[in-house]
Amino acid sequence: MTGSRELLAAREHAGERLDLFLAGQLPELTRSQLKRLIDDGQVTIASAAVKAGLKLRGGEVVRILLPAPEPVAAEPEAIPLTILYEDPHLIVIDKPAHMVVHPAPGHRGGTLVNALLHHCRDLSGIGGMLRPGIVHRLDKDTSGVMVATKDDRTHQQLARQFKAHTIQRRYRALVHGLVQNEHGTIDRAIGRHPGQRLKMSSSTRRGRRAVTHWQVLRRYDRDRLTLLDLTLETGRTHQIRVHLAEMNLPVVGDPLYGNTRQARGLADPHLRKLIEQLGRQFLHAWQLGFVHPLSAAEMQFRAPLPPELQAVIDYLEQKYAPPTAEMSACRHSTSRESA
């Protein structure tokens, strides 16, 4: 998307900040992109550059000059992808753990973007983005379903669905602690942690609303573990991990928000070994649903738990399985002989 756009600030926008007005009118652009456009003087009213905090009066025409997409810094790399679906407009993949979504300092190569550039060769780059095709992301050590786009129109329309919270995103997480209720909702704003820049937190003055719905799937009482199914209503950075950690239910294996003492404190040596060998948090995006931007078809994709996560669940299920009739009879017979 390049060129210029003109937006009329209606009377009901009177008193609204310019940057918030633009964020609502241009959901395909991130707040950082909009800030950069404003700071670069690319947003004007009556031919005059304006500031982000300008209060609109209503009736203004806001003109935005959109630059051509910046050259993609990432290089194509022949990295294998697990493709769940692909058409000329988008691609749905099952992202493995340990893969960064887009290049960043310390991760210039080996990212999902590098792999997509090699596979697709025609990814979108909206508003000068250096994250071609990426509409949403998963943390490096979170696995599961992701969608990427191949053209601007698809990108813009999917971005609107994410902004409207109509995308269905469901996760599985194993957490330390026994969740008492069967289901619930966490509605707590999240922003940058005030003291630790790598972390997010609800203890911040500039948090954005974050809503996570959860449901208990299984409790493993003796090991004080709970398997949860989670649905995201919003998609803030580290949202699930922050919300659960602040409930004193850290995700198993989480190196940033977890508590290593809880894993080391597990009495079952085999379970402790399985968890220590994960090398990642037990968090998996198992389902993604959206409306196809062009065909309007409702689409839903699922990805099974990766083997290392499934191995933990298989062991727990075997451990907590009720005894069979044969085992019960054997135990009863042994008890009588002992008597």
Catalytic site positions: 139
- Spatial contact of 95 and 144, defined as CB atoms under 8 Å apart: yes
Q: Where are the beta strands (DSSP E) in the chain?
A: 3-8, 43-45, 48-49, 61-66, 83-86, 90-95, 143-149, 168-176, 183-187, 191-192, 200-201, 211-220, 225-232, 283-291, 298-302
Instruction: Report the 10 Å Cβ neighbour count for 182.
Output: 9
Task: Kindly list the distances between the CA atom of residue 68 and the CA atoms of 3, 12, 94, 130, 188, in Å, as whole numbers in the listed order.
Answer: 8, 32, 31, 12, 37
Q: Which residues contact 234 (CB under 8 A, 6 or more apart)?
A: 165, 208, 209, 210, 211
Directed axis angle between helix 18-25 and helix 31-39, to 10°? 130
